[in-house]
Amino acid sequence: MPGFETWGAEERKELQDVLDNGILMRYGFDGPRKGIWKAVDLEKEICKTFGTKYAQLVSSGTAALTTALSALGVGYGDEVITPSFTFVASFEAVISVGATPVLVDVDDTLTLNPEAVRKAITPKTKCIMPVHMCGSMADLDALKEICKEFNLVLLEDACQSIGGTYKGQQLGSIGDAGTFSFDFVKTMTCGEGGVVMTNREDVYIKSDGYSDHGHDHKGVDRGADLHPFVGYNFRISELHAAVGLAQIRKLPQFLATQKKHHTQLKNILSQVPEVSFRRIPDPQGDSHTFLSWFLPTEEQTRAVVAKLKEQGILAGNFYWYDNNWHYIRKWDHLKQGITLNALSPEHKAAVIAQANKEFKASDAIMGRCISTAISLTWTEQLIEEKGSKLVAVIREVLGS
C-alpha cells in the first residue's frame, strides 16, 4: 500500500478522457460527455470485483459511512457499537447522523471483541459497525450471530481493508452495507473518494439519493428529478472516479505484491521469539497492507519505538497507542464533546459518557502493538535491510 505508489499511464489515460470532454460532474450533460461515464463504469467494476449487487460512489470514506448509516435508518436516539481502535471518521459519521458511538474493546485481532460487543448492547442499540483495521478482518461470524440474535444491522467499515476477504467473501460485501475509502493512502485510491456497497436494493436507492441532495434520478434530466427525502452533496467527481477506474484494474497486482512483501518481513521478525503477531480470523483473507506485531510489555514496546526514532528508522512503523487519529486514548475532542455545531444536551452527554469509559483490555493490547506499513515499491534487498534493522533494535531492547 498505497496505490499512489504505482501512479502511471493508466491513470493519466482515464483522466485525459474526462479532460477531453470537459464534463467533470458525474450526473447530467449527456450529450457533451460523449459517452464518458467514469463514475458509472467504476461502480460496475466495484460490483464485479467485490461481489455486491450495488455500489454508490461518494466523495470520501467518511461520506460513505454517513450515507450508509442514514440509508440503514440509523439516527436520533440510536447507539452504534464500534471499536476503540479505528479512524476518527467512524465516530464522526455516527455523531453526524444524530446517533451515539458506543466504543468497546478490541482483542488481539485489533478489531471488535465480540464478547465486549455483546455486553454493550442496550435497548438503544441499532447497529454494529466493525472496522476492519490495518487490512484484516473482524470476527464476522460472531458479529453476524449477535446481529441476528438482537435484530441489529451490520455495517462494515472496510475502509482500510480493500481486497481483504472472509471465508471467500469480500470484506465490505458481508453486512447490510459496507464502505471503502479511496483516499490518497488507501490500497486503491481515487485521490479522494469512497463507496457504499450493498446487496439490499432499498439501501442502494436511499444511498443514491442521499448522496445527491435527495434526487431520485428518475427524471429525463436533473431538473425533472423528484426529491423523496432531504439529502446532501456527497458526490464524487468524474476526475476522481477516473483515477479509481485505473486503480481497481491494478488491484490484483497490488494485493499480490503486498502479500509477498508482508510474508518476507514477517519471516524476518519471526526470528525473535518474543515477537508475536495479530490474530487473523481468516488468515487467507488478509489484504497484507500492514504487518502488526506485539512485544511482551508496553515498556519494551515504547523502548523499541524510541530506539527506532533515535536511529531515524521509525517511518512506516506505527505505534497506535500514542497516535492522535486512531485510538481512543488521544481523542480528547471526543471525550470533551467538542463540536462546532451544537449537539443536544442529551446527545452530547451520551457521547461524552461513552468516550470516557475505561478501555483496559484495549490498552493492554494497543500498548504493545506496532504496525509496519507494507510498501508496493520495496525490493527483496530493501525488505531484508528493513527487517534486519528492526530485529537488531528489538534484540537490543530485549537484551536477547
Reported as a single tens digit per residue, the pLDDT across 93-143 is 999 999 999 999 999 999 999 999 999 999 999 999 999 999 999 999 999
Phi-psi region of 58 (alpha: psi -120 to 50; beta: other; left: phi over 0): beta
CATH of domain 3-250: 3.40.640.10
- Residues marked active site are found at 186
Q: How many CB atoms lie within 10 A of CB 233?
A: 10
Cis before 2? omega within 30: yes
Q: Kindly write down the DSSP assignment for every residue of 78-134, as one continuous string.
A: -EEEEESBS-HHHHHHHHHTT-EEEEE-B-TTSSB-HHHHHHH--TTEEEE--B-GG
Give tens-digit pLDDT for 236-291: 999 999 999 999 999 999 999 999 999 999 999 999 999 999 999 999 999 999 99
Write the CA distances from 78 to 36, 125, 149, 253, integer angstroms.
Answer: 41, 6, 18, 41
Report how far residue 248's alpha carbon sits from residue 225's, in angstroms, rounded to the nearest whole number: 31
Among residues 148, 155, 167, the alpha carbon closest in space to that of 86 is found at: 155
Pairing of strands 100-104, 276-277: unpaired
What does residue 213 show for φ and ψ, rounded to 5 degrees?
A: 60, 20
What pLDDT is stored for residue 142 in this prediction? 98
Report how far residue 140's alpha carbon sits from residue 128's, in angstroms, rounded to the nearest whole number: 11
Query: Edge-to-edge, what's the strand order for the sheet holding 290-294?
Result: 276-277, 290-294, 369-373, 317-318
3-state secondary structure 335-389: HCCCCCCCCCHHHHHHHHHHHCCCCHHHHHHHCCEEEEECCCCCCHHHHHHHHHH
Among residues 269, 264, 251, the alpha carbon closest in space to that of 379 is found at: 264
Pairing of strands 290-294, 276-277: antiparallel
- Are the beta carbons of 15 and 241 closer than 8 angstroms? no
Quote the mean pLDDT of the chain.
Answer: 97
Give tens-digit pLDDT for 287-318: 999 999 999 999 999 999 999 999 999 999 99
CATH of domain 252-324+362-398: 3.90.1150.10
Give me the residues paired with residue 373 across strands: 290
What pLDDT is stored for residue 223 in this prediction? 87
For residue 322 the three cell numbers come to 500514542
Report how far residue 111's alpha carbon sits from residue 86's, in angstroms, rounded to the nearest whole number: 8
Break the chain into its structural domains and give their ranges. 3-250, 252-324+362-398
Among residues 146, 80, 16, the alpha carbon closest in space to that of 354 is found at: 80
Residue 390 has pLDDT above 80, yes or no: yes
Give tens-digit pLDDT for 45-64: 999 999 999 999 999 999 99
- Are the beta carbons of 153 and 70 closer than 8 angstroms? no
Residue 10 has pLDDT above 80, yes or no: yes
Query: Edge-to-edge, what's the strand order for the sheet holding 153-157?
Result: 54-58, 194-198, 177-181, 153-157, 125-128, 79-83, 100-104
pTM of the predicted protein model = 0.97
Give me the residues paired with residue 73 across strands: none
